[in-house]
Amino acid sequence: MSFVSTYSRNMYLFFLMFIAVGLSLSKPLITLGELCIGFLWLLEGNHLEKIKRFFKNRTALILSSVYLLTLLGLLNTTNFDFAVDDIRRKFPLFVLPFLIVSFKPLTNKEFRLIFSVYVGGVITASLWSVFVMLGGLNEAIIDKRDLSRFTSHIRFGLEVSLAIFGAFYYTIKTTDKKQKIRWILSFGWLVAFLFLLNLITGIAVTAITIILLVFYYGIRYNKIIVKLSAVTVVIVISVSLVLYIKSCYQEYLSFNDVEVLPIQEYSPKGEKLFHDTISSNSFRMENGNYIYRNIANQEIEQAWNQRSKINFNGFDNKGQQIRFTILRFITSQGKLKTEEAINELTPEEIKAIENGVSNFRYLDMNGIELRLHKIFWEIEMYNKYNVADGHSVMLRWVYWHTAINIVKDNMFVGVGTGDVQDAFNKKHEERDIISEKYWRRAHNQYLTYFVSFGILGGIYFLIFLFYPIVVLKQYRDYLYLCFISISMLSMLTEDTLETQVGITFFAYFNTLLIFKKRKSSF
């Protein structure tokens, strides 16, 4: 008996662990894991039999067929440089189902082992983030999103969310006390970490998935009291979230409900004040006051340079011109932009301005309140003045509208695999709403497929997503239900299947969860 046949299963599991760890810690490890599984597939032999097995497996064909859209999109593509890169990047959508279906399905024990390794990788990445946050690398961390060191904070938030639901599941299912304690600690830490880093996307998909789970598992019970309780809990949670958002919005409105500072001619020290009432920036406000009025430029420059090591004409730690951060911060306090206002700033406020904080009220807000406040401000700027530049939420709104316009112009077959960004660039230029440096794609995976492959391709993408849920009834599998909820929710605001980590995260767990032997249900 050969070495390969003897240790093939162990090697297969080991290489799957490479990918599991790589998702949160190392992109090269993801590639290495995929290559090793492919090499093992070759070493095992029986290639023709494996290929036949793949083509006889309808589910495997459907899971991998979404990659065919990318290939078919070459037929009406002109930008082949981008197209070739997209084909390379999306290859895991085909190769993972193709390879995994060639091996024996994972047992529940084997999947638990792999998922444990995955959770271990996520926890390791989270601990490293905390180490950096506490100054372990002597780096100045201004934006907590920068603490996601190995992948984007959005993808990391999805990984943490799935790890939380998996840790909860194995906490319930495990009978071994030591393992149960480990799963409980993992669950508790990951929940705390999600809020510690303000992984907003992760928090959002986790909250919505919890509501979905409560509703689904509640209505499955025969007892009417359980069904009613589940519906009640869902309603209470949903209403509580709405009331919380409404409360934050009312607070935001109260910040702006102030008496606007009148235009004054001179500062208390006699400098003639500058007022911008005609430029494109003249309308900008902070907490109900105009940013570019009542400015004593010479006074605040001299006073600031005496209090801070960052020059008035330099940049704050977020890379923004600190002059504008100062103006916004003082405006938020309802003061004239004078030497007196600079001198009244506390050391903590000086530090906050240096770190790019533009509103004094942000200092007392938690991460969620702060994010909501910024979203309300972005919406106000867009609705009143059609400004979206640099505002992530309203930029997405612009991208979505742009994508819909592109779909209308290319209804049936789309713009092709390689011409997506070119189509967006052209349409952004026509619409002339945002600056060129913000010309990006849909930030919505569903719209991206409709733009790329038209109505026909977009509908097929939806069939691809819903086939396991509707036909295979994978909603009965707790872990799959959590995974697909997290993935599909993320696709509403992100092009999840346009990056290596996002593509592999989806293809890897989608395939493993569908083809493992035993379903993980309560």
Domain assignment present for residue 334? The answer is yes
Instruction: Give residue 302's domain range.
Output: 285-364
| DSSP reduced 3-state for 257 | coil
Domain assignment present for residue 295? The answer is yes
- DSSP letter assigned to residue 285: E
Domain assignment present for residue 401? The answer is no
Phi-psi region of 489 (alpha: psi -120 to 50; beta: other; left: phi over 0): alpha
Radius of gyration over alpha carbons of the chain, in Å? 27
d(CA 404, CA 247) in angstroms, rounded, equals: 33
d(CA 393, CA 375) in angstroms, rounded, equals: 7
Contact between residue 23 and residue 30 where contact means Cβ atoms under 8 Å apart: yes
Q: What angle do CA 407, 410, 415 make, to 5 degrees?
A: 95
Q: pLDDT tens track of the chain, all 522 residues?
A: 455 666 889 999 999 999 999 999 999 999 999 999 999 999 988 899 999 999 999 999 999 999 999 999 999 999 999 999 999 999 999 999 999 999 999 999 999 999 999 999 999 999 999 998 888 887 777 677 778 888 888 999 999 999 999 999 999 999 899 999 999 999 999 999 999 988 889 999 999 999 999 999 998 888 899 899 999 999 999 999 999 999 999 998 888 777 788 899 999 999 999 999 888 778 888 888 999 999 999 999 999 999 999 999 999 988 889 999 999 999 999 999 999 999 999 999 999 999 999 999 999 888 889 899 999 989 988 998 888 888 889 999 999 999 999 999 999 999 999 999 999 999 999 998 999 999 999 999 999 999 999 999 999 999 999 999 999 999 999 999 999 999 999 999 999 999 999 999 999 999 999 999 766 666
Domain assignment present for residue 350? The answer is yes
Residue that the structure tokens 């612009």 belong to: 398
Contact between residue 319 and residue 355 where contact means Cβ atoms under 8 Å apart: no
Number of domains in the chain: 1
Of the candidates 494, 502, 516, which has an alpha carbon nearest to the alpha carbon of residue 448?
494
Domain assignment present for residue 344? The answer is yes
Rounded-to-5 percentages of helix, strand, coil across the chain: 70, 0, 30
Domain assignment present for residue 389? The answer is no
Element (H, E) at 286: strand 285-286
End-to-end CA distance of the chain: 41
Phi-psi region of 519 (alpha: psi -120 to 50; beta: other; left: phi over 0): beta
d(CA 296, CA 494) in angstroms, rounded, equals: 43
Domain assignment present for residue 68? The answer is no
Beta bridge partners of 337: 295
Domain assignment present for residue 508? The answer is no
Of the candidates 171, 159, 168, which has an alpha carbon nearest to the alpha carbon of residue 126?
159
